[in-house]
A and B are shown apart, each in its own frame.
Chain A
Amino acid sequence: MTKTVYFPVVAVMLAPNVGSACSPGSGRGKSMKPTDTSNPDYFHKVVDCQWACPAHTDVPLYIRLIAQGRFGDAYIENRKSNVFPGILGRVCDRPCEPACRRGRVDEKPVAICRLKRVAADHREDITDRLPRGAAKSNGKNVALIGCGCASLTVANDLRPLGYEVTIFEALDTTGGLMRTNIPRFRLPPEVLDDEINCIIDMGVDLKLNHRIESMKELLDSGEFDAVFVGTGAPRGKNLEIPGRYDSDRIHIGIDWLESVAFEHIEEIGKRVLIIGVGNTAMDCCRTSLRLGATDVKVMARKPRGFFKASDWELEDAEEENVEILVNHSPKEFVFDDGKLVGMTFELMEYKVDDDGGIDRGTVVGETTIACDDVILAIGQDNAFPWIERDIGIEFNEWDCPVVDETTMMCTREGVFFGGDSAFGPKNIIWAVAHGHQAAISIHKYCQGEDVRKRMPRGINLLSQKMGMHEWSYSNYFDPAERRIMPHVELKERFKKLDIEVELGFTAEQTIQEVERCLNCDIQTVFAARLCIECDACIDICPVNCLTITPNGDEADLRTRLSAPAENPEQALYVSGELPHTSRVMVKDEDICVHCGLCAERCPTGAWDMQKSQVLIPYAEDEASGAQPEKKGVSVA
């Protein structure tokens, strides 16, 4: 051996990408570019719940606050984005839960919605932390039509900026459909009043029993600098079949629920048929049981799996022994001596294709089912008889106003829509999201700014490393199953209309459920230049989401990772070229449990766990001109 030469340069060296680690896949198609994590949407999307929420509530943050017993802080964090944590903690349509990563790892998502209720129910007095109406007017007047969740959100955002806000409400009470259509056994009036009043108390001029009959008149009055329409979708769909108008025992679901809410209706027949199987149908059948009905059937035209109602609402109804009959298409009402005695249905058969699509069905028979009352719950429509069609507000083919999805402004400048009245029936959380956006637009419009030039979202990343093996969050994966919400006994709950069925989580349940959250906002952030390709992170990852491999196009890369990345909805996080071999680090975001072990086993700190905070601009941020920052709650 030549003793003077230690590491002579070898003339013919193999390609730097380590030998057999080189995959046949490389070279095909275009290689993926390094993931642009400076785009706020990238890490935002990893937080599935927050991304799915129309109002983008920072779910993992408030769950951690609950875990620390900081219920007031959790409430304020919620309120910032969704305004009605107590209400939504009971009746939100929870788009966050089907999106929750836990549901992909472990079947059932975190009970996000019911944890929100924990924060609302157990919060300390937070009155002095709520936004206040500005003492001094800025001289601009805004009319909000309808006192539902959309208008209230606009008021909540504009009052602190000094806007004079007037709410016109046709009924003699606030809350809109939240009060008239959601039964009290699901949403107690005290909860509604509490959260609505703190907005009204910001100095809103509330005009109850004041139906706006003419938009033209309102606009022509010149009293208002901007008008916001939040009148919902107040017209229940009708069912035009023989016998429809021959009895007063055939009800329209949402009107009937409203009459029950105002105590105009206090009883119903023993046998009730509910037509339709959406969430309104679920409220109708359960309300019927509390007004004296003993035999309630929900009649579905299609088979299970094609119901519009949320799974949990179906579950709750079936727990109360409501029967759901599938493949029954309404044909006609049946009378005996002028009295409604039943309804005839066509029995249907459907073909479901491999993609889950369903055909129009074929009639295979007929049946008549006896009943005393029928409630139609087959959908809602918008209704704008009070908006003249010649005042510059364009309507589309479905008789809905043409509304810009970003600015919420219609074709007449200065007139904005939100909630169900904008794009048809959605749900409360969408209405809140619309309200925030409309408030920004109204502010910009009133200040003479371009409503389209809006502040972009931002993102903050902050390392959560506290020490060698210590993170600021609970990184252990708790294998506990989803907690089951305790309910009032069946016998008890039917005694009165307003006995809230759900009792809320106990302290023990809360402690377990918060630990099920995977902390998806604690991001795995990678610095390629530090990586020595020791594989430590790949070896420790419990869910095989990391791979070091030669780059390739996305379709190719997805097939040759530690575990195949088969969920195209979830991004691949691709690094820049690694210093030693020019390969890339690829992370499949799909089922990462954010345990932090990759960062903990990394000898060079190439992986770090960083909390992402999505900065979402609200009207007050637009007004101050500064990037949105976290308000009120310190980082948990």
Chain B
Amino acid sequence: MSYIAKPQVSHPSLRKNKLGLTSRDYEGAVSTLCAGCGHDSVTAAIIQAVFDLDIEPHMLAKMSGIGCSSKTPAYFVQQSHGFNSVHGRMPSVTTGANTANRHLTYIGVSGDGDSLSIGVGQFVHAIRRNLNMCYIIENNGVYGLTKGQFSASADIGSKPKKGLPNQQEPIDPVSTALSLGATYIARSFSGDKAQLVPLIKGALLHKGFSLVDIISPCVTFNDHEGSTKSYAHTREFYNHVVDVDYIAPFEEITADYEQGSAMPVALHDGSKILLRKIDGDYDPTSRARAFKYLRDRFNAGEIVTGLLYIDDERKEMHDLMGNVDTPFAELPMESLRPPKGELQKILKPYR
């Protein structure tokens, strides 16, 4: 942490977005995480993405649970809504919030402890409902707040700072999400914003559940030699297979891509994301092939990153349930509470 706040002085050429705001306007409080924490880079990437997408701060809801990761919503978009919930319960709280107001953009920030240990049940059900949210896991393989014990995402053989290497099978959030039918699955690295920012933008715009699993090294407890979630290890075994370019609604695809390597996917707001397949064999629209590919590369020790799976056909929670477009929060009480006669009619088929 720092004793002085980030000075309110900025580069004179700082760009403004459509709302007339600069990226500085999307900042939050100064981070109290350890200096060099990957989470702070993720925060910076979120700020960039939200700024680039011209999201109005009051139309954003930041959701989190408990952990180092779950502190990060305090560090971006100060003027938005926020809910810091019970440990592991962020998905349920977000489900409730989203049910009441589907017009907000939901960004949940969680960690490997919050999502893969105490909150794993919540995590899988949010996927199952295809809750329309961007779900970020800041994944560092350790419980940082409690001084660095292995988490459920620690790799076999990864060495702790002190004590014995991990022997238990890790839970991989990407494979888990893939098996559960999540509709936007990405993995990235806090140290690669060029890849990370467009992935977050795509996740924020995707209609349905988007998971961005981000290797975000714990500089204090898991950045030593022998750790598989250190900056050095991640860089050495980093393999990006599908990169994403975000194309705003008014932009055209101008860049020159090799034949067959680029695949545009239209998003619901008229923008596009352009998938750039680095590995030509990879197919990010086939669940079965993605699953096999990921297992193979994982067994080879690689950290596969990029937009690994996308399904833009499946309906999100509100559409599955046939809810009205108007947020419940804005509906008049008469509409929310049908009169007795109407209620009887609704209930009749279930009797």
Contact = CB atoms under 8 A, between A and B. Distances in A.
Interface in A1-50: 1-3, 5-8, 10, 13-14, 16, 18-21
B70 interface: no
A539 B243 CA distance: 22
A534 B36 contact: yes
A544 interface: yes
A18 B156 contact: no
A318 interface: no
Contacts of B146: none
Given A10-B237, A566-B13, 13 more contacts: A1-B298, A3-B156, A6-B157, A13-B236, A18-B189, A18-B192, A19-B195, A19-B238, A469-B1, A534-B190, A538-B44, A591-B11, A601-B35
Interface of B: 1-4, 6-14, 24, 34-38, 40-41, 43-44, 155-158, 169, 189-195, 217, 219, 223, 228, 231-233, 235-240, 243, 298-302, 305
A427 to B, nearest CB: 30
Contact of B192 (A21, A539, A542, A601): A21
A10 B296 CA distance: 12
Interface in A414-469: 469
Interface stretch (A199-207, A230-238, A247-255, A471-479): A471-479
A53 interface: no
A543 B10 contact: yes
A487 interface: no
Contacts of B4: 475-476, 595, 597
B30 to A, nearest CB: 8
A580 interface: yes
Given A105-B12, A535-B191, A16 B235 contact: yes
Contacts of A543: 9-11
A604 to B, nearest CB: 7
Contacts of B8: 477, 479, 542
Contacts of B233: 7
Given A19-B238, A580-B231, A580-B232, A535 B13 contact: no
Given A477-B9, A603-B35, A539 B41 contact: yes
B238 A534 contact: no
Interface of A: 1-3, 5-8, 10, 13-14, 16, 18-21, 104-106, 469-470, 475-477, 479, 532-536, 538-540, 542-545, 563-564, 566, 580-581, 591, 593, 595, 597, 600-604
A14 B235 contact: no
Nearest to B298: A1
A248 to B, nearest CB: 54
Given A18-B192, A20-B195, A539-B44, A534 B299 contact: no
Contact of A532 (B157, B194, B223, B238): B223
Contacts of B2: 469, 540, 597, 600-601
Contacts of B194: 19-21
21 contacts: A3-B156, A7-B301, A10-B239, A13-B239, A19-B243, A105-B9, A106-B9, A476-B4, A532-B223, A534-B38, A534-B191, A535-B44, A535-B191, A542-B7, A542-B9, A563-B14, A566-B13, A595-B4, A601-B40, A603-B36, A603-B219
A542 B10 contact: yes
B219 A580 contact: no
Instruction: Give the most central of A104, A477, A538: most B CB within 10 Å.
Output: A477
Contacts of A580: 231-232, 235
A602 B240 CA distance: 27
Instruction: Give the most central of B38, B169, B231, B302: most A CB within 10 Å.
Output: B231
Contacts of B238: 14, 18-19
A7 B12 contact: no
Contacts of A538: 44
Given A18-B191, A19-B305, A544-B14, A532 B237 contact: no
B301 A8 contact: yes
Instruction: Give the most central of B36, B156, B194, B298: most A CB within 10 Å.
Output: B36
Contacts of A2: 299
A6 B301 CA distance: 7
A188 to B, nearest CB: 38
Contacts of B301: 5-8, 10
Nearest to A601: B35
Contacts of B189: 18
Given A14-B240, A19-B192, A19-B195, A1 B299 contact: yes
A1 B294 CA distance: 12
B245 to A, nearest CB: 9
A470 B1 CA distance: 12
A543 to B, nearest CB: 5
Instruction: Give the most central of B7, B40, B243: most A CB within 10 Å.
Output: B7
Contacts of A10: 237, 239, 300-302
A106 B7 CA distance: 13
A5 B305 CA distance: 21
A540 B14 CA distance: 15
Nearest to B297: A10
A397 B195 CA distance: 64
A306 B300 CA distance: 71
Given A6-B156, A534-B191, A580-B232, A476 B37 contact: no
Nearest to B30: A540
Instruction: Give the most central of B169, B193, B217: most A CB within 10 Å.
Output: B193
Given A18-B238, A476-B4, A542-B6, A535 B35 contact: no
A477 B192 contact: no
B170 to A, nearest CB: 10
B35 A600 contact: yes
Contacts of A540: 2, 6, 40
Given A2-B299, A534-B219, A563 B13 contact: yes
A7 B2 CA distance: 36
Contacts of A106: 9
Nearest to A562: B11
A532 B34 CA distance: 14
Nearest to B6: A542
Contacts of B157: 6-7
B191 A539 contact: no
Given A19-B305, A20-B243, A603-B35, A535 B9 contact: no
Contacts of A542: 6-10, 24
B320 to A, nearest CB: 35
Contacts of A533: 191, 231, 235
A6 B155 CA distance: 9
Contact of A581 (B3, B35, B235, B302): B235
A14 B303 CA distance: 12
A226 B106 CA distance: 82
A20 B9 contact: no
A603 B221 CA distance: 12
A135 B155 CA distance: 79
Nearest to B299: A1
A7 B235 CA distance: 13
A3 B156 CA distance: 8
A566 B11 CA distance: 12
Contacts of B14: 544, 563
A479 B6 CA distance: 12
B303 to A, nearest CB: 10
Contacts of B302: 10
Nearest to A588: B11
B308 to A, nearest CB: 14
A535 B41 contact: yes
Given A3-B156, A20-B240, A532 B232 contact: yes
